[in-house]
């Protein structure tokens, strides 16, 4: 039992260390955003109004709900409720997929209007707006990659739950995948107001 405890402690520490590196990565992008905003405040506000706030709001609600479902999955596995755990993991992955589908339609609409990195139409709008959308696509795209990775991780752990390899006595893998998912949600909570709600 003591060996298992040490293993779990090490796994948790490793995940927190990994999350710390992720925070540093996104913090660097947020600092770059802040510097650019200070340089082009009016252009950033103008560019922000070109984003679809409805897509952004729906995706915020989707990810907040997914944070709840994965947290409930942890509670369910602790109570040895396997079926509810699997259902909640499935709902979380489904919500992550819904987020990406919404993002696909949002980006398709923006691209159809010529608003994408490297487009002549975007270049004609000036350096400030071009900088905004370059940052937006890169940061949101990186976040989207994290959504895919997080959803895939939860799906794999759900399979392990179904096989009895993740149990009420040993659920660190599920706990760590939930921590990663919460980070994904937290990053979006910062991205949404920074890009969609500039006044």
Task: Provide the mean pLDDT of the chain.
Answer: 94
Number of domains, the chain: 1
141-159: pLDDT as tens digits: 999 999 999 999 999 999 9
73-96: pLDDT as tens digits: 999 999 999 999 999 999 999 999
In the prediction, which pLDDT does 12 show? 84
Q: How far apart are CA 13 and CA 37, in angstroms?
A: 36
Contacts of 134 (CB under 8 A, 6+ apart): 117
Q: What is the CATH number of the domain that holds 6?
A: 1.20.120.80
Task: Indicate if the pLDDT at residue 180 is higher than 80.
Answer: yes
Cα dihedral 14/17/19/21 (nearest 10): -130
Residue 74, domain extent: 2-196
Q: What is the mean pLDDT of residues 97-121?
A: 96
97, 113, 115 from 109: Cα distances, Å: 19, 7, 9
What are the two backbone dihedrals, phi and then psi, of residue 49, each rounded to the nearest 5 degrees? -70, -15
């Amino acid at each position: 039992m003591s060996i298992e405890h040490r293993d779990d402690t090490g796994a948790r520490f490793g995940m927190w260390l990994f999350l710390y590196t992720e925070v540093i990565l996104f913090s660097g992008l947020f600092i770059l955003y802040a510097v650019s905003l200070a340089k082009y405040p009016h252009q950033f506000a103008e560019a922000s109004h070109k984003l679809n706030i409805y897509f952004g709001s729906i995706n915020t609600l989707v990810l907040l709900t997914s944070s709840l479902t994965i947290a409930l999955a942890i509670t369910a596995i602790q109570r040895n409720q396997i079926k509810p755990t699997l259902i909640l993991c499935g709902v979380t992955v489904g919500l992550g997929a819904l987020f990406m589908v919404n993002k696909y339609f949002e980006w398709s609409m923006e691209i159809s209007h010529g608003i994408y990195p490297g487009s002549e139409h975007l270049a004609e709008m000036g350096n400030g707006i071009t900088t905004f959308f370059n940052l937006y696509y890169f940061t949101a795209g990186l976040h989207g990659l994290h959504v895919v990775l997080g959803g895939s991780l939860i799906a794999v752990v759900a399979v392990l739950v179904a096989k009895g390899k993740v149990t009420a006595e040993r659920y660190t893998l599920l706990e760590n995948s939930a921590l990663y998912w919460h980070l994904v949600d937290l990053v979006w909570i910062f991205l949404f107001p920074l890009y969609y709600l500039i006044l």
